[in-house]
């Protein structure tokens, strides 16, 4: 079972629409659509006991989710995550009670699995076996690929330039491992293009997806013996998670499962990408630059948060606030959380601890509050941030260099290795490398292949460009030298 609905409602202007899988946003104001679930109709039919004997996870709260044929449910055991009492971290921050909702333990390591199970189940019920996502974070694409595989469906992921620039390696590895089809290029401009190919378009702004994210609120309240905490702190990317947590809280109150809804919703954004927090603080909104993304919390970089207005309204209704943090604050908090509590979060996820610390420092939090920080995703998704920790630890650095250079030397072909050796003896340019190589290898070959090797070695971080020389009448010369990594590679091969 599950609740029955025939209508969607625009969360911004209230316009109602009949259920339509092709309609993803309001035709009047472009606002996100939510399912009009009329939960009051089941009021009195669900009690705390309704859920208590079921296994933990998103589908435990069946009655509060949209009706989907139970045979069509696609699940990897998402949700049901721990609410950890973090005494050491609380002491460190001078708080009475701090809890972490540890979403890193979801099937693909991110809270998005909560929405994905519902959206993919819906696709399964409709009978569309081809899934697509076009505007997505790395975590979203990883989750989509996993659930598609679980259902036996195909999943095509459109990677725009913007998404590629913020894709963490761990997430890319996940997508590949789950068998997602990566298509590089701008996303299709409208859903009709996708739907004409009979694909189901997955998106965090889908009304079914959003319903799954409410379950974070249900779980927190149930885990606190059907009480609300004083404050819930949530990272804001598109703003749908904080909005849906607040919606979930209000639903529990309306159903009489909790006595009050006195919980202040607190949203965190990154400096430079904090349009929602700026609006809350009535500051002039910084223009988000189109260029290179300058934060480690890449999944929180959203130019136009789909649920921005709803997030702001949720925060205002709950008398909460917004806070923005910077990378060094996130980095510090990520480390603190891992070391004091054994929870290894990715940067976007650790932003809630950073936001909490900032509000404490600003004197804007009562230290007697019971606070829940949502930690939305796992640390290994972003290995490049993880390895910044170990920069200062010599032994670890040596171990990593050895592991990597061993991998690199076994992967490098003879030609590339000879090129490295040539460059290690002196800073040089492509044409010189080509001449030397011909001598060493004793074969004639095309110079363009040398440039190809050089560009691959550069991408692998083994060599770098040092200068470009313009000589009149001749092609420009680009000089290369070895990086530290290139040097280690040569040494370990000897």
- Per CB under 5 A, 13 contacts Zn ion: yes
Task: Decide whether 12 or 385 has the Cβ nearer to Zn ion.
Answer: 12
Query: What token pair was written down for 444?
Result: 């004639």
Position 9 contacts Zn ion (CB under 5 A) = no
CA distances 380 to 241, 302, 303, 308, Å, are: 22, 22, 25, 28
Please work out the total of residues on this chain that contact Zn ion, with binding judged by CB under 5 A: 8
Among 21-29, 117-125, 203-211, 435-443, the segment contacting Zn ion (CB under 5 A) = 21-29
CA distance 285 to 279: 7
Cα gap 479→494, rounded to integer Å? 25
Rounded to the nearest 10 degrees, how much is the dihedral formed by the CA atoms of 369, 375, 376, 382? 150
Q: Does 29 bind Zn ion (CB under 5 A)?
A: yes
The minimum distance between CB 239 and Zn ion, in angstroms, equals 16
Query: Which residue lies nearer to Zn ion by CB, 70 or 190?
Result: 190
| CB closer to Zn ion out of 9 and 301 | 9
Kindly state whether residue 12 participates in binding Zn ion, applying the rule CB under 5 A.
yes
As a 3-state breakdown, the chain gives helix, strand, coil percent values, each rounded to 5, of 45, 15, 35
The distance of closest approach from Cβ of residue 223 to Zn ion in the complex, given in angstroms and rounded to an integer, is 35
The residue (of 13 and 393) whose beta carbon lies closer to Zn ion is: 13
- Which residue number, 191 or 434, has a Cβ lying nearer to Zn ion? 191
Contact predicate 92/340, CB 8 Å? yes
> How far is residue 368 CA from its own chain's centroid?
31
Residues 30-49 that bind Zn ion (CB under 5 A): 31
Angle at 189 between CA 236 and CA 173, to 5 degrees: 55
Residue from 1, 6, 16, 28 that binds Zn ion (CB under 5 A)?
28
Residue 357, burial from CB neighbour count under 10 angstroms (0-12, 13-18, 19+): buried
* DSSP, residue by residue, 360-389: HHTT-S-TTSEEEEEE-BBGGG-HHHHTTG
Residue (30 or 289) nearer to Zn ion, CB:
30
Residue 15 interacts with Zn ion (CB under 5 A)?
Answer: yes
d(CA 12, CA 35): 13
- Give min distance, CB of 25 to Zn ion, in A: 8
| 264 near Zn ion (CB under 5 A) | no
Please spell the DSSP secondary structure of 222-235, one letter per residue: HHTTS---SEEEEE
If one asks whether residue 25 binds Zn ion (CB under 5 A), the answer comes out as no
Segment interacting with Zn ion, rule: CB under 5 A, options 27-35, 200-208, 293-301, 466-474: 27-35
Name the residue nearer to Zn ion (CB basis): 10 or 374.
Answer: 10
Query: What is the binding site for Zn ion (CB under 5 A)?
Result: 10, 12-13, 15, 26, 28-29, 31
């Amino acid at each position: 079972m599950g609740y029955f609905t025939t209508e969607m409602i625009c969360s911004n202007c209230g316009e109602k629409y009949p259920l339509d899988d092709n309609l993803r946003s309001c035709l009047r104001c472009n606002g996100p659509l939510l399912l009009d679930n009329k939960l009051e109709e089941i009021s009195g039919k669900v009690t705390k006991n309704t859920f208590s004997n079921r296994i933990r996870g998103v589908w435990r709260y069946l009655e509060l989710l949209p009706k989907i044929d139970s045979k069509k449910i696609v699940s990897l055991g998402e949700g049901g995550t721990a609410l950890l009492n973090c005494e050491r971290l609380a002491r460190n921050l001078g708080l009475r009670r701090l809890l972490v909702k540890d979403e890193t333990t979801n099937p693909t390591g991110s809270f998005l699995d909560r929405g994905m199970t519902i959206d993919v189940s819906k696709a399964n019920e409709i009978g569309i076996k081809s899934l697509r996502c076009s505007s997505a974070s790395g975590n979203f694409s990883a989750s989509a690929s996993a659930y598609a595989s679980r259902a036996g469906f195909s999943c095509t992921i459109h990677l725009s330039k913007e998404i590629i620039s913020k894709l963490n390696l761990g997430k890319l590895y996940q997508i590949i491992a789950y068998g997602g089809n990566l298509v590089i290029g701008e996303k299709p401009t409208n859903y009709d293009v996708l739907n004409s190919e009979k694909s189901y378009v997955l998106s965090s702004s889908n009304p079914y997806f959003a319903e799954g994210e409410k379950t974070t609120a249900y779980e927190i309240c149930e885990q606190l013996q059907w009480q609300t905490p004083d404050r819930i702190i949530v990272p804001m990317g598109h703003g749908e998670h904080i909005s849906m947590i607040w919606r979930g809280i209000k639903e529990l109150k309306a159903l009489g499962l909790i006595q009050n809804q006195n919980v202040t919703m607190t949203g965190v954004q990154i400096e430079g990408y904090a349009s929602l927090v700026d609006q809350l603080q009535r500051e002039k909104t910084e223009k988000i630059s189109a260029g290179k993304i300058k934060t480690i919390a890449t999944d929180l970089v959203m130019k136009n948060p789909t649920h921005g207005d709803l997030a702001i309204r949720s925060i205002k209704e709950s008398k909460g606030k917004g806070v923005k943090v910077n990378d060094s604050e996130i980095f510090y908090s990520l480390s603190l959380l891992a070391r004091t509590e054994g929870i290894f979060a990715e940067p976007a996820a650790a932003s809630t601890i950073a936001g909490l610390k900032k509000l404490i420092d600003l004197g804007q939090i009562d230290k007697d509050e019971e606070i829940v920080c949502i930690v939305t995703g796992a640390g290994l998704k972003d290995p490049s941030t993880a390895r910044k920790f170990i920069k200062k630890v010599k032994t670890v650095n040596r171990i990593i260099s050895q592991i990597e250079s061993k991998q690199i030397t076994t992967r490098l072909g003879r030609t590339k290795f000879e090129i490295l050796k040539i460059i290690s003896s002196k800073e040089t340019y492509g044409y010189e490398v080509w001449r030397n190589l011909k001598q060493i290898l004793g074969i004639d070959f095309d110079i363009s292949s040398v440039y190809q090797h050089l560009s691959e070695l550069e991408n692998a971080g083994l060599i770098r460009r040092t200068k470009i020389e313009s000589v009149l009448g001749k092609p420009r010369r680009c000089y290369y030298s070895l990086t530290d990594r290139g040097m280690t590679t040569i040494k370990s091969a000897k």
